[in-house]
Structure 1
């Protein structure tokens, strides 16, 4: 046990003060805050999934179409957002381009109608729509036969593979940036060092994107679609998350890693539309999901795998914005850091010139 200068043994409180620095205490408190935020975000998003204005096409003869749309629109809690469609072909096209999530085909001459769903875009959403429409039709003395027009692959249980793939890419992105910070300092010493880190991250992103695409495609058979499309998406996702983490580190130092976890993991993962697609999430998570890398990546991966690349522009722009923004902020902060150090060095040098011999 250490002793104080006068030879007496330190008290327990003094030992604690010596062993636990203020910086360590603040970091532990920050970790506790992240844990509470994690529990709150995941439980808040998933504890009570409820359909909210799910886009649904209604194909029916003109004389009954309007009334049927109104009835479905007035269901308690507004779970559906019904809209008329001219034909089954038109409804299918809108499902395939991800404008709609389902379509109800009504035949007044029979007592059974058809419901078209696309479980490739989210099995939980398809099941929720089926339950709602079945209950509504039962009240009218009718039955529903469900047809999955874009089913999830046999190896893609509950269509979650795209989500887990993107989560893996995101984890790889911020861990790579964190390792660069641990090994060489949280803040790059100058602009050249920042560019080198970003270049290393880019090479890693290319390798990580390819590895993920190979695992879920040829190896596991979990996701269909273009291997090269998923590879490109993976590289962009990993770089976007990694560059964002580098930017946060340049701004806040090691604490920036915690901020990256808050944005990507705590807020990004539960709002990504993985386990529960957007119409099943509460409003807050619906709003932020498409703007964060996990949500944009999950939507894009499902589009590549099941929807022939439809509705990709928005998610790719989101990921590109995080990638470019993170890279520019990283370089800008490194430049400012070097300038500040040079000014400090200049003041010190200037002061030394006027010191007496």
Structure 2
């Protein structure tokens, strides 16, 4: 039964109930993580002699569940861990006092939080060194964090467009791939060439944007190929109302309430942001996980598009062939 075939009073009731339900879902998805932002097992390194680092670790342990402390032998090892995205920062304790190593490129909000947490615990006597700084033209990481929404819209638009235009099979795959490639080029041109907010190799950045757009577009088109037009709505809701607010783009996955951070990294928007940070600022460190996540979404989505276009087998309800009239002509 199509919606238009429902009695008018039922259609009115559906609109009256559906719109508030969508508003409630959107408010929950966007407002809940923002209102509950706080460190949860945030990886943080501590380096130096055991006797010197013990007080630091005790102060960090007082914030129950806030930090996942990683111990390193010296400042060199701690710095390498920050550069390899093993930790978001590290406290190096020496005879000159504590030094906090941060990486604002991994999240300016996280770097600021670490500065405050370490300074409060050490009486304010701490030297801060930004090991991997954010882009000079975008110190707050605004361009990278706000890129999630346009990419999500591009992916949803591509998947919906392919479905509504009736493209199937190889044509749909070609349209999705070509659209994603152009999205990647445009996004890299704006964010890197013009705004100078996302450094790194231009082609790698463009490829990352393109893969993220392809993963989202293929997911929407694949669901539509399997479920029909309701698949477009389902894919759009998952990407926009879960993937976007759960991505941790403006902070970090470990800053979101559980299990939002983990869910976000398994969805294309969160994986796309993580991969973009890795290839832009950290020479590809910790890029394998998000790269595989995006690749799987793209492969499964495109596979569903091809499967949905495959010819259906004959069923037992086929109309029988008309019987031949064998009566001799008179």
Q: TM-score, normalised by structure 1?
A: 0.82
Say whether the 8 Å CA contact 1:69–1:83 is kept in structure 2. no
Offset from partner CA, 1:286-340 (integer Å, 9 cap, x none): 22011110110001111111111111111010000000111112222332xx416
1:347 alignment partner, SS class: coil
Aligned counterpart, 2:215: 240
Is the CA contact (8 Å cut-off) linking 1:289 and 1:295 kept in structure 2? Answer: yes
- 1:252-290 Cα shifts (integer Å, max 9, x gaps): 322222211221111111111111211211011122011
Moved more, 72-81 or 317-326: 72-81
Q: Work out which of the residue numbers 88, 106, 114 in structure 1 matches 2:99.
A: 114
The aligned runs of 1:47-196 (5 Å cut-off) are 47-65=35-53, 67-68=54-55, 70-107=57-94, 109-110=95-96, 112-138=97-123, 143-184=125-166, 193-196=168-171
Structure 2 alignment gaps of length 5 or more: 326-330
Cα distance change, pair 355–212 in 1 and its aligned pair in 2 (3 A):
farther
**Which segment drifts farther, 215-224 or 175-184?**
175-184
The CA deviation string for residues 35-56 of structure 1, in whole angstroms up to 9 with x for no partner, is 3211101111111311112211
**Structure 1 vs Structure 2 CA RMSD:** 2.5
Show the 5 A alignment for 1:280-291. 280-291=255-266
Aligned counterpart, 1:339: 312
Structure 1 unaligned regions, length at least 5: 1-15
Q: Is the 8 A contact 1:119 1:151 kept in 2?
A: yes
1:265 and 1:220 map into 2 onto residues whose CA distance is: 25
Extract structure 1 runs of 4+ deviating beyond 4 A.
16-22, 24-32
Q: Which residue of 1 aligns with 2:305?
A: 330
Task: Indicate the structure with greater helix content.
Answer: 1
1:353 correspondence with 2:322? yes
Measured in 2, the distance between the counterparts of 1:200 and 1:309 equals 29
TM-score, L = length of structure 2: 0.89
- Is 2:278 the counterpart of 1:303? yes
